[in-house]
Amino acid sequence: MKIYTGTGDRGKTSLFSGERIEKNDARIEAYGAVDELNALVGAVVASLPSVPEGGVVSMQLTRIQSDLFRVGAWLATSAGSPSMAYLQPMDQEDSRWLEEQVDQMQSQLPELTVFILPGGHSSAAWAHVARTVCRRAERRIVSLLDQNTLPDDGADSLLTYVNRLSDYLFVLARYCNYLAGMVDQVWQS
């Protein structure tokens, strides 16, 4: 399979559902942010501390990367197109799973009563970067919802999932510092 096709040389690309649109379209911006987020999740995995809990986190993040491909597919498919039949919907169970992982990690962390600076262990720093890109992806998805360009069925669940994912990534950053034996850096005003 060739990686380059030459069909995007004039600033257009194809959606999963087949339409050709400008590469700077809001839809491309949204699934581009999701793609960037997926790559950053991979950076978190590559930098996890070498502790047994790191393996558990790695498996969680691999599932999240697969989920992000599903999110991207929804964003790259026009409402009502026949391609929608091939999409696996995001549902509330996906978001509940993230909430369960957040609760599990938080149960091992000290209560947070102050603002913290992004950083610490490299895996925590990458998780913080992923969190900020996740928030950007969420903003792009909200813009698409405002424009009514996403399929109605599943759009709310998709947005909920991305919102919960940013919460997960914040807690994950703290958890990575915890696994590495590092303390979160408190913001000093």
Measured on CA atoms in the order 137, 138, 141, 146, is the torsion positive or negative? negative
- Tell me if 48 sits within 8 A of 57, measured CB to CB: yes
- What CATH code would you report for 12-179? 1.20.1200.10
181 phi/psi in degrees, rounded to 5? 75, 25
For residue 25, count CB atoms less than 10 angstroms from its CB and return exposed for 0-12, middle for 13-18, buried for 19 or more. Answer: middle
Q: 172-186, pLDDT tens digit by residue?
A: 999 999 999 999 998
Domain ranges of the chain: 12-179
Q: 100-146, pLDDT tens digit by residue?
A: 999 999 999 999 999 999 999 999 999 999 999 999 999 999 988 88
Please give the model's pTM, rounded to 2 decimal places.
Answer: 0.91
Of 104, 9, 7, nearest in space to 56 by CA: 104
